[in-house]
Amino acid sequence: MLPEMTDEQRAAALERAQLARRTRAEIKALLQTGSLTFADVLDRAAEDDLVAGTRVKAIVGAMPGMGKITTIRLLEEIGIAENRTLRGMTPRQTKELLERFS
């Protein structure tokens, strides 16, 4: 059961959720245009929890030339679960993705 929230708490939670969605959409758009690299995203993830909580699948899928099928195949090849976040990647997984997108 969900805890009871005051109107102020609910409004603050909605605001945080909107900020998270906006931040993630901005990063994906910058990746698609080539203005941002995968390494840049990892640097941001080290500093920003909203970015660190983004799913690897969403980031890889936003890279130029990566479609849905190619993204899934790459994640399977490296051994990254579809629901893994940037924060949850192992050093080996991070290294392999950096090599792939460098």
**With bands split at pLDDT 50, 70 and 90, how would you rate the model's confidence at 76?**
very high
Q: At 49, is the pLDDT very low, low, confident or very high (cuts 50, 70, 90)?
A: very high
Residue with tokens 């950096």: 98
Q: What is the pLDDT of residues 36-45, one digit of tens each?
A: 999 999 999 9
When pLDDT is averaged across residues 34-58 and rounded to a whole number, the result is 94
| Dihedral of alpha carbons 50, 52, 57, 61, sign | positive
End-to-end CA distance of the chain: 46
| Whole-prediction pTM | 0.86
